[in-house]
């Protein structure tokens, strides 16, 4: 059964049981804790955290994911890769343990002819959290399996949390016994609390069912946490690894041999003349190539470009490790133009954007390979100097600090350093190198741990939103003054009934002309006047949860209380100035794409009064001549005084009209398209000038990276 059919059957199964099919979200979501979407539940996290009300009680998705905790270990085992697809079904206060177990067991054991996966029940082993007697009894009832066939595992294996206070709960896994060729015999009743390492290949986890039922007040480690009580609503979050099920159903040994990955290895064999399966060392390199080529392609498709920090650095490492692995396999020519189209053809069957946007994706990838080839030349010079010093001093070992500097500063992979050192009759202080790498990782982990504390406590906002029963109506496209009523007040301690002079609080109105910061556009400012004479200065406007707009205000005089009628007055000059900047950003984006091609994609912006910053992807520095051409082009459009207008349409209609969407932005089924004449069209929720002629002269002050 090919991978596309497995994906189709999964969605069809849950759709037939009342689940809303949800397309995969971008790999890039606005989450301070994550570089990339790393699990199927991430796009649904606002629903699980109570920050937003889900538009459905049941949902199913096949979510593209990237995990990069230990890139150096990819390929050394066959269980994990950096990019994978997670099939999931989710219940938001609807069915719970029994429903989740029944739905999962039905799909995996149902005959292939009836739309299932046809896995043999006698080779399946459910696992439960050791203290979850309820799940144990449900598994026995649903499957008919005897007590001893159900594994009882501890917190480390079968209790889920986000690693921070919030929702958590026990989980159940479905494991598939691959037989004695993959591990020793075992006694199911004797397993636990941890799964023995020697059984990880034999007892393959294919599906994890998380029963979110607990509110965790403190999380110190995976097995050390405090349960404050039960969640008001019990939710279900499951994840089935698409690649793992694919290699089982395709009769392959591991995920690297399935239909969407092995063709890249076959192409690499053709290019290098080496054979997969002939050498354990070469096999690791082949697997690195297959994984990293696919992961890099998917990241570029979602808008990531190579860089020296964050997401860009991860992409750079993936691309360079793929190129370096081909070099270690004996292939010296540019490799990505040969390999990436193979991955595109396989993955493009599901992700059509790979085909539509191939010119940009390939340009970014191939330019990075060319840059790395130049880096290798520069790094080789530094390496030669370092080894010469070692030889002159009578040494035989390259210090770990120099190997680390080559890796960290020049992007020189350690195994390439090892290979080249061996050619010079030298060894490398690997222990010193690993120590420095570990120190760097620990710093990164500490930074990530610190960021985990930044989760916004949205309970106060959710309380107001639930009480309102509908979204705040934004009227700012049509007016800058509007009548409203005060529906909620939020202070540092949560929802409050009132606030007095000098206090800074957040105010929710039932309708507002104030634009909340978003899409690169700064928030409106202004005043709110209440019918009791109270005046509020609006200093910022945000949308902390979907459908809610909060005005951060200073109470100038009087008393602010809920229920009062209000008049909202936007600072008109500030709004007009920001709107002009936003329209200018669209025009500059279009002009850069005309000058540099489709790779010059917007990656961010800041639209401020009188000025704007435009972030875009490029494969190198922009020549001064191009900057001058772009500036001249947008000022010509200013002189043409083209009308700027907005239309609301479906996403499909917007794409068909040629409108550009920005990577990482979340769009609904209905989208707003802003057009500058018939020249520039973008999906955009911001405010704009009425025509290009109202912008005045646009001056590009500089460019940097």
- How far is residue 122's CA from residue 365's CA, in Å, rounded to a whole number? 46
Count the residues in the chain: 705
pLDDT tens digits, one per residue of 337-388: 999 999 999 999 999 999 999 998 999 999 999 988 887 777 787 888 889 9
| DSSP output for 566-622 | EEEEE-HHHHHHHHHHHHHHHHHHHHHHHHH-TT--EEEEEEETTEEEEEE--SSPP
pLDDT tens digits, one per residue of 260-312: 999 999 999 999 999 999 999 999 999 999 999 999 999 999 989 888 678 88
- How far is residue 551's CA from residue 543's CA, in Å, rounded to a whole number? 9
Domains along the sequence of the chain with CATH: 3-255 (3.30.930.10), 275-452 (no CATH), 459-570 (2.40.30.130), 575-695 (3.30.980.10)
Q: Who has greater pLDDT, 168 or 89? A: 89
In Å, how far are 39, 156, 237 from 208, measured between CA atoms?
12, 14, 8
- How far is residue 237's CA from residue 501's CA, in Å, rounded to a whole number? 46
Q: Is 429 a residue whose pLDDT tops 70?
A: yes
Q: Are 316 and 308 in contact (CB under 8 A)?
A: yes
Q: Are 475 and 513 in contact (CB under 8 A)?
A: yes
The two beta strands, 602-608 and 535-542, are unpaired
Is the CA virtual torsion 579, 585, 591, 593 positive or negative?
Answer: negative
With a CB cutoff of 8 Å and minimum separation 6, the contacts of 262 are 252, 256, 290
- pTM score, whole prediction: 0.73
With a CB cutoff of 8 Å and minimum separation 6, the contacts of 604 are 520, 615
pLDDT tens digits, one per residue of 66-99: 998 778 788 888 878 999 999 999 999 999 999 9
Give the alpha-carbon dihedral of 355, 357, 359, 362, to 10 degrees. -80
Structure tokens at 83: 């990019």
Residue bearing tokens 């330019």: 367
């Amino acid at each position: 059964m090919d991978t596309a059919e497995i994906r189709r059957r999964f969605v069809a199964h849950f759709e037939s049981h009342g689940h809303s099919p949800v397309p995969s979200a971008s790999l890039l979501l606005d989450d301070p804790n994550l570089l990339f979407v790393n699990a199927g539940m991430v796009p649904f996290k606002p629903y699980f955290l109570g920050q937003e009300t889900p538009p459905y009680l049941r949902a199913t998705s096949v979510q593209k994911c990237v995990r990069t905790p230990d890139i150096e270990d990819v390929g050394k085992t066959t269980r994990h890769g950096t990019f994978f697809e997670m099939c999931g079904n989710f219940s938001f206060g609807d069915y719970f343990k029994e429903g989740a177990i029944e739905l999962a067991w039905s799909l995996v054991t149902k005959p292939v002819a009836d739309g299932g996966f046809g896995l043999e029940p006698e080779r399946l082993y459910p696992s439960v959290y050791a203290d979850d007697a309820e799940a144990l009894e449900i598994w026995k009832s649903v499957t008919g399996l005897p007590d001893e066939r159900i594994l009882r595992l501890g917190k480390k294996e079968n209790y889920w949390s986000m690693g921070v206070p919030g929702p958590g709960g026990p989980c159940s896994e479905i494991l598939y016994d691959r037989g004695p060729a993959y591990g020793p015999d075992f006694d199911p009743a004797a397993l636990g609390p941890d799964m023995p390492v020697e059984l990880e290949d034999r007892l393959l986890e294919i599906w994890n069912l998380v029963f979110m039922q607990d509110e965790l007040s403190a999380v110190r480690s995976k097995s050390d946490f405090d349960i404050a009580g039960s969640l008001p609503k019990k939710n279900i979050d499951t994840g089935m690894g698409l690649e793992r099920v694919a290699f089982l159903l395709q009769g392959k040994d591991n995920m690297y041999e399935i239909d969407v990955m092995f063709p890249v290895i076959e192409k690499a064999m053709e290019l290098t003349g080496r054979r997969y399966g002939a050498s354990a060392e070469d096999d690791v390199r082949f697997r690195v190539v297959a994984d990293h080529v696919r992961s890099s392609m998917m990241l570029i498709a979602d808008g990531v470009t190579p860089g020296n920090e964050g997401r860009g650095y991860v992409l750079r490492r993936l691309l360079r490790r793929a190129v370096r692995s081909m070099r270690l396999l004996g292939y010296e020519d540019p490799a990505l133009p040969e390999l990436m189209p193979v991955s595109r053809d396989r993955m493009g069957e599901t992700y059509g954007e790979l085909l539509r946007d191939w010119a940009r994706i390939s340009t970014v990838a191939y330019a990075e390979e060319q840059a790395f080839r130049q880096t290798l030349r520069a790094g080789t010079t530094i390496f030669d100097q370092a080894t010469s010093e070692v030889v002159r001093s009578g040494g035989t070992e390259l210090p770990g600090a120099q190997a680390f500097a080559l890796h960290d500063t020049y992007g020189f992979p350690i195994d390439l350093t090892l290979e080249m050192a061996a050619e010079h009759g030298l060894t490398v202080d690997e222990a010193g190198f690993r120590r420095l790498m570990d120190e760097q990782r620990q710093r990164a982990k500490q930074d990530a741990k610190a960021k985990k504390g930044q989760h916004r406590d949205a309970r106060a906002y959710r309380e107001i939103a639930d009480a309102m029963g509908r979204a705040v109506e934004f009227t700012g496209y049509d007016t800058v003054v509007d009548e409203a009523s005060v529906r909620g007040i939020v202070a540092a301690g949560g929802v409050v009934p009132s606030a007095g002079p000098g206090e800074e609080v957040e105010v929710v109105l039932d309708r507002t002309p104030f634009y909340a910061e978003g899409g690169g556009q700064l928030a409106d400012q202004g005043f709110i006047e209440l019918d009791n004479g109270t005046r509020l200065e609006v200093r910022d406007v945000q949308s902390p949860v979907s459908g809610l707009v909060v005005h951060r205000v200073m109470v100038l005089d009087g008393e602010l209380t809920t229920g009062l009628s209000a008049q909202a007055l936007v600072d008109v000059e500030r709004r007009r100035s920001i709107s002009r900047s936003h329209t200018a950003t669209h025009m500059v984006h279009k002009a850069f794409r005309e000058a540099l091609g489709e790779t010059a994609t917007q990656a961010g912006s800041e639209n401020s009064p009188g000025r704007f910053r435009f972030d875009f992807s490029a494969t190198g520095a922009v020549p001064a001549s191009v900057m001058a051409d772009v500036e001249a082009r947008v000022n010509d459009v200013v002189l043409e005084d083209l009308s700027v207008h907005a239309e609301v349409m479906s996403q499909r209609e917007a794409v068909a009209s040629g409108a550009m969407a920005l990577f990482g932005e979340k769009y609904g089924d209905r989208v707003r398209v802003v057009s500058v004449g018939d020249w520039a069209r973008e999906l955009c929720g911001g405010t704009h000038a009425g025509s290009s002629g109202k912008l005045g002269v646009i001056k590009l002050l500089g460019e940097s990276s």
